[in-house]
Amino acid sequence: MVLSDLNTERQNRASSDLDKLSALEIATLMNREDAKVLRAVRQALPEIAKAIDVVHNRLAKGGRLIYVGSGTSGRLGALDASECPPTFGVDPSMIQYVIAGGERALANAAEASEDSSQLGKSDMAARKPGKKDVIVGLAASGRTPYTIAALKYAAKKGAATVAVICNTGSELARVAQIAIEAEVGPEVLTGSTRLKAGTAQKLICNMLTTGAMARLGYVYGNLMVNLHLKNEKLIERGISIVQRVAKVNRTVALATLEAADMKVSIALVMLCAKVSKPEANRRLKRAQGSIRKAIEA
């Protein structure tokens, strides 16, 4: 695939005079272009839904979701993976990331690493992907050797593979079992895929993990019931959630949380199912962490 043939690498006529525009004109132009991202992601919703189902099924069997990418794409995977433990209370090993250039590449450019197929293969091999896992390769172009090699290796080991791309007809799409192609078009700043392409990838990552976690029962309704109450804001949020779901006053909510070791999930099962803390723990274990199932048991 010739780089100049990619939509994400073409020059955007609408922004050809970018350096001549006022601040408001630049903001208006970028806002208008960003609106195209939502349309592109909307067209990919059927494939996104398929990927959510795969992630849900693999995680339900004790597997892992592993993002892999380079540059902006790799950092977006790292961002989503690192946000899942505090949002859903899951172990960090459940949602992981692999980025070309390693941890240093999160804050420093490591462009040379993305050209290495061998590095992509070896970095993925270090995670020992298997039949319970799902690997999500992120690449705006769909042509990154590092990410392609990582997905190929994971597939050979039996892992499910998903590609998140912003161009159609790419090699990454061909090697993945599910290809999510959100064609956002040329960037306002030519080739800068941290813009529309990055936004599209971020939206899709949000859908994959939030959708899978909701289906696994790590949320109750639309509430974050597995968050860790580690600061004043989160403690207040936890109290509010217990009050809202269990329909109790603040005093009862706080007292139950304290009895439940400040774990919202346990407190909710205790109050809603009217059971002791040990019984709430047993129910949650049997329900694999699903609060709704634990309460209705």
Round to whole Å and give the CA distance between 157 and 136: 14
Residue positions annotated with a catalytic role: 83, 114
- For residue 44, give Cα distances in angstroms to 48, 116, 118, 207, 208: 6, 29, 31, 12, 12
Identity at 110, one-letter amino acid code: A
User: Is residue 187 within 8 Å of residue 194, measured between CB atoms?
Assistant: no
| Neighbour count for residue 15 (Cβ, 10 Å) | 19
Q: In the beta sheet, which residues pair with residue 130?
A: none
Round to whole Å and give the CA distance between 142 and 147: 9
